[in-house]
Structure 1
Amino acid sequence: MEIVSIEAGTYRAMMFHFEAFARKVGALCEPHVGKRLDEWLDNQDVCLILNISPRTLQNLRETGKLPYSQINRKMYYKPEDVEKVINNVGL
């Protein structure tokens, strides 16, 4: 084990900068709190819930009846948006 000693002033300066960095990271992450991917549904989940084919799901997306988010080539849907489709479209 290697022991490194630094002056107290240098340590306090390092801690000050580290805490400032941590605050900045926290401020950047704050708007995204609660946006976890496990709360979203993918194509397969929505097809099973609505009892529809993938092509029908694509049609709902294209006509704007079902909002979605896309990450790379995969689509994700909010559960509340799927509920709205059930109530509004009558699936």
Structure 2
Amino acid sequence: MATEIITKEDLEAFEQRLFQKIEQVLGGNTPEPKKWLKSYQVKNMLRISPGTLQTLRVNGTLSYTKIGGILYYKQEDILKLLEGRQKGKQ
């Protein structure tokens, strides 16, 4: 039997997905996507390391806003970055 290590970030991502699904079932509405994402959400979405995320910030590929020591990223910027990756692979 294989052992799988679950990190705190994995649990937070699972929690977020679970709450979204519960809201969909209870509210009947499609939840509006968040406009701002935290670093752990961006790392999970792009499947990158903290160092790679820092490189994207430093070289200006990904813009961010820092509030009270927490970095926030616009979801639309993340989606544009993903679209750029897809176009590059084709």
Task: Report the TM-score, using the length of structure 2 for normalisation.
Answer: 0.55
Match of 1:5 in 2: none
- Cα-to-partner distance string for 1:45-75 (whole Å, 9 max, x where unaligned): 0000000001100000001000110102110
2: distance between equivalents of 1:72 and 1:53?
A: 22
User: Would you say 1:69 and 2:65 are equivalent positions?
Assistant: yes
Confirm or deny that 1:51 pairs with 2:51. no
Task: Give the SS at the match of 1:65.
Answer: coil
The residue aligned with 1:39 is 35
Please list every run of at least 4 consecutive aligned residues from structure 1 whose deviation after the TM superposition is greater than 3 angstroms.
none
Aligned partners of 2:43 and 2:49 also within 8 Å: yes
**CA–CA separation in structure 1 for the residues paired with 2:47 and 2:75:** 15
Q: Is the contact made by 2:35 and 2:76 (CA closer than 8 Å) also made in structure 1?
A: no
3-state SS of the aligned residue for 1:41? strand
Q: CA RMSD in A?
A: 1.4
Q: What is aligned with 2:80?
A: 84
**Structure 1, gaps ≥5 residues long:** 1-37
Distance apart, 1:44 and its partner CA: 0.2
CA distance in 2, matches of 1:55, 1:85: 17
Amino acid at match of 2:47: N
Aligned to 1:60: 56
| Count of aligned positions | 53
Q: With structure 1 as the length reference, what TM-score do the two structures score?
A: 0.54
